[in-house]
Structure 1
Amino acid sequence: MTDDQDSGATPDTASQDAKTGTFLVTHADDESAVLTDVHDGQVHTLAENPGLAAAEAITGTLTPVPPMGVSWEVGDLDEQWAIGVEDSDLAPTQQEREIASGQAVGELTRQERAGAGELHVITVPEDGVEQAVADVLDDEDGLRSRAARLGVNRVEVRSDDGVVSVRYVP
Structure 2
Amino acid sequence: MTAEHAGRDGDAVEGRFVVTHADGTSAVLKDVDSGGVHTLGDDPGVDPREVIEGTLEPEPPMAVTYRIAEIDTRRRLSLEESPEPPTRQERRLADKQGVGEVTRRERAGTGELHVLTVPEDDTEAAVEDVLGDEATLVRAARIGVDRVEVRAEPGVVSVRYMP
Q: TM-score, normalised by structure 2?
A: 0.86
For the 8 Å contact 2:10–2:58, the answer to whether it is kept is: no
Aligned length: 157
Question: Which runs of 5 or more residues in structure 2 are unaligned?
Answer: 1-6
Note the aligned Cα RMSD (angstroms): 2.1
Question: Which runs of 5 or more residues in structure 1 are unaligned?
Answer: 1-12
Identity %: 55
**Residues 60, 103 of structure 1: alpha-carbon distance in 2 compared, 3 angstrom cutoff:** same
CA displacement 1:59-110 (0-9 Å, x = unmatched):
1111112222111111221111111211110111121111111111211011
Match of 1:25 among 16, 19, 35: 19
* Counterpart check, 1:104 vs 2:98: yes
Q: TM-score, normalised by structure 1?
A: 0.82
2:111 alignment partner AA: G
Secondary structure of the residue that 1:149 maps to in structure 2? helix
Secondary structure of the residue that 2:29 maps to in structure 1? strand
For the 8 Å contact 2:19–2:30, the answer to whether it is kept is: yes
2:46 alignment partner AA: L
| Higher Rg of the two aligned structures | 1
CA distance in 1, matches of 2:8, 2:103: 42
Secondary structure of the residue that 2:69 maps to in structure 1? strand
- Superposition deviation, residue 14 in structure 1: 9.5
After the TM superposition, which segments of 4 or more aligned residues of structure 1 sit over 6 Å from their partners? 13-16
- Superposition deviation, residue 111 in structure 1: 1.0
How does 1:147-166 map onto structure 2 within 5 Å? 147-166=140-159
